[in-house]
Structure 1
Amino acid sequence: MQTVRIPKVINFGENALGETEYPKNALIVTTVPPELSDKWIARMGIQDYMLYDQVKPEPSIDDVNAVISQFKDKDPSVLIGLGGGSSMDVVKYAAPEMKKDKILIPTTFGTGAEMTTYCVLKFDGKKKLLREDRFLADMAVVDSYFMDGTPEQVIKNSVCDACAQATEGYDSKLGNDLTRTLCKQAFEILYDAIMNDKPENYPYGSMLSGMGF
């Protein structure tokens, strides 16, 4: 038997961020300062929420524990990881510990982490790659809105990461017909976006590569 695990719900495309309905009393976890997170949250259209913006780059289990200790008694309806891999990894680990659903919203692209069962955290100062089914998002929201203002070199590096992951996933001995189809389509979308100047398709290609990885 072959199995592919992806989020229960995937909202993607233009204005997916604003058209998604978010539960009330959500906890948004991010790494960015208020001047940026306020802009993103306004775009989401969410009104009733709590915010935790103290996640450090390359987070540790201490960041996870800080979220749990501060918000467990406040009983958030859902945890939302808004940002890059750091905020999403903290939510991937914290949400199941709190017995809450999780929504992952990547503001960068390249690895398709919002689609995977992988989580990277530091334990005793050492970075560990964890893989558990419980890290999978209940919902992922992928929107090219976050491309605006991203430095060109960062975009180029991210495209290279996404293409490399699509290639690696396609060639993996652990792959199957479905994952190879996803990786092939991801590479084709990314290649077309590069050659025909369609940067709005980069997050979509990255998303597919994450699904097929």
Structure 2
Amino acid sequence: MNIFGIKSKICFDKGSIEYLNTIKNKRVCIVTDPFMLKSGAADKITNIFKANKVEYEIFSEIRPDPPVETVSAGVNKMRTFKPDVIVALGGGSSIDATKSIILFTVKILNASGDNYNKPLFIAIPTTSGTGSEVTSFSVITMGTTKFPLSDDEIVPDIAIVDADFVKTVPPQITADTAMDVLTHAIEAYVSTNNSDYTDALCEKVVKLVFEYLLKAYKDGNDMVAREKLHNASCMAGMAFTNANLGINHSIAHTIGANFHIPHGRSNAIILPYIIKYNANLESIKESETAKKYAELSKILGLPSSSSKEGVNSLIYAIKILMKETNIPMSLKEANVDKNELFNKIQSMANTALKDNCTVTNPRMPNEEELIRLFKELYGE
């Protein structure tokens, strides 16, 4: 039996931040990063709470690829303040960290007999990429290893998808995060857990990214493009929280942990190679996965008279997007040291093999195949 569910209430369109005016007579903790305070983005939230005389505190120690130490500090903040509402403001790092903070705080306090109810969880994304505002996934870092967590209890209750929060995102981050969205959609589309419901979302997301990424990249003030990409990010999150992902993300997790390449950029670099691997065009029997990739090409109006042509058209179109947005085509172009990569390649392949995303990849790799993929990703 398949189950499709969307837990989060989604507030979208310009000005949807006004939803926060419904929060009254509550203790609120805002979880964010230092840049959100410095840039004034957090003021949009605090001004509303001040006007409504809402008691709030701010935890602003979030940093990229949130380490377990940051989560621990957030848990200590929560145990002291015990908020009724938590508002996560930021990109995937802020929202992911908040998920882990909530999960561990509730478990710790309840284990100590404190009987603390999970706070209302509101997520406000400031990048159009992770879709974390509607997913049950969180990724935290310990050393050079990223640990994906999955628990229905950490899905935000409210997602505020307000494009006003992304209109100042720089072009390169716009491109990196949008390519993350595209990867989410394509991986969920061919996942072994895909369904008619997730497929419909993925098809729409792919169309939106191809139509609006370059517009938002070239003109950050194009609010129609910004809004469409922001919606696409959220929709992709709905799809993959139900269908899961694949080895594109498994590989990206370990590359990010070891070489600190932004997650969306890592996914973009990897994507053409994974489509080729999963399609397995060299196989005597045409794969269902190749047919699905070709279906995306048809939806985009790309040449697809056969599955092979459709797969190659999709790969070519993705590479054009990458070239137009100055995304590296290989790990070499991303300035990864070849010797360091090859010294770590076996352990990285093993880590990717054990990643939770690998289990729903349409073609199950072995360690040797992953090592070969890492070598191809380096480029020459």
TM value normalised by structure 1? 0.89
Structure 1 position 178, deviation (Å): 0.6
Letter in 2 for 1:126: T
CA deviation digits over 1:69-109, x for unaligned, max 9? 22323221111111011211121122233332311111111
Distance 1:118 1:78 in 2: 20
Aligned residues: 212
1:14 and 1:143 in contact (8 A); partners too:
yes
User: Are 1:32 and 1:83, in contact at CA under 8 Å, matched by a contact in 2?
Assistant: no
Aligned residue for 2:49, secondary structure, equals: coil
| Matching residue's letter, 1:82 | L
What amino acid does structure 2 have at the position aligned with 1:170?
Y
Q: Which amino acid aligns with 2:49?
A: I
> Deviations 1:86-145 (Å, cap 9, x if unpaired)?
211121122233332311111111121111111111235532111122221111111111
Gaps of 5+ in 2: 107-117, 217-224, 241-380
CA distance in 2, matches of 1:212, 1:38: 29
Shift of 1:26: 0.8
Q: Which moved more, 1:20-29 or 1:105-114?
A: 20-29
| Structure 2 Cα separation of the partners of residues 8 and 210 of structure 1 | 11
Does the aligned pair in 2 maintain the 1:6–1:136 contact within 8 Å?
A: no
Residue 195 of structure 2 corresponds to 176
Mapping 1:91-106, distance limit 5 Å = 91-96=98-103, 97-98=105-106, 99-106=118-125
Contact 2:8 2:134 in 1 (8 A): no
CA distance in 1, matches of 2:143, 2:180: 28
Match of 2:131 in 1: 112
* 8 Å CA contact 2:65, 2:141 repeated in 1: yes
Which ranges of 4 or more aligned residues in structure 1 deviate by more than 4 Å?
A: none
| Preserved CA contact (<8 Å) 2:129 2:233 | yes
Q: CA deviation at 1:32?
A: 2.5
Match of 1:73 among 76, 80, 91: 80
Decide whether aligned partners of structure 1 residues 60 and 168 sit closer, same or farther in structure 2, where only a CA change above 3 A counts: same
- Alpha-carbon distance in structure 2 between the residues aligned to 1:112 and 1:11: 14
Question: Counterpart in 2 of 1:41?
Answer: 45
Report how far residue 13 of structure 1 moved: 1.4
CA drift of 1:55 comes to 1.9
Runs of at least 5 residues in structure 1 that lack an aligned partner in the other structure: none
1:31-76 per-position Cα deviation (integer Å, ceiling 9, x unaligned): 1342224434257x22222111112321122222212222323221
Q: Give the TM-score, by structure 2 length.
A: 0.52
Deviations 1:156-190 (A, max 9, x none): 22222212221111121211111111111222223
Which residue number corresponds to residue 228 of structure 2?
201
Q: Name the aligned partner's letter for residue 32 of structure 1.
A: P
Asked which structure has the greater RCO (Cα within 8 Å, sep 6+), the reply is: 1
Counterpart amino acid of residue 191 in structure 2: S
Is the alpha carbon distance of 1:159 and 1:70 closer, same or farther for their aligned partners in structure 2, counting shifts above 3 Å?
closer
More strand by share: 1
Structure 1 window deviating more from structure 2 (149-158 vs 202-211): it is: 149-158
What amino acid sits opposite 2:96 in the alignment? D
* SS of equivalent residue, structure 1 residue 46: helix
Among 82, 86, 90, the residue aligned to 2:89 = 82
Are the counterparts in 2 of residues 7 and 140 from structure 1 also a CA contact under 8 Å? no
8 Å CA contact 2:11, 2:161 repeated in 1: yes
Q: Distance in 2 between matches of 1:38 and 1:9?
A: 21
- The equivalent residue for 2:237 is 210
On the 8 A contact 1:116/1:210 being kept in 2, the answer is yes
Q: Secondary structure at the match of 1:63?
A: helix
Q: 2: CA distance between counterparts of 1:5 and 1:134?
A: 13
| Equivalent residue, structure 2, for 1:59 | 66
Could you report, residue by residue, the CA deviation over 1:7-38 in whole angstroms, capped at 9, with x for unpaired residues? 33111111111344335321000013422244
Shift of 1:195: 6.8
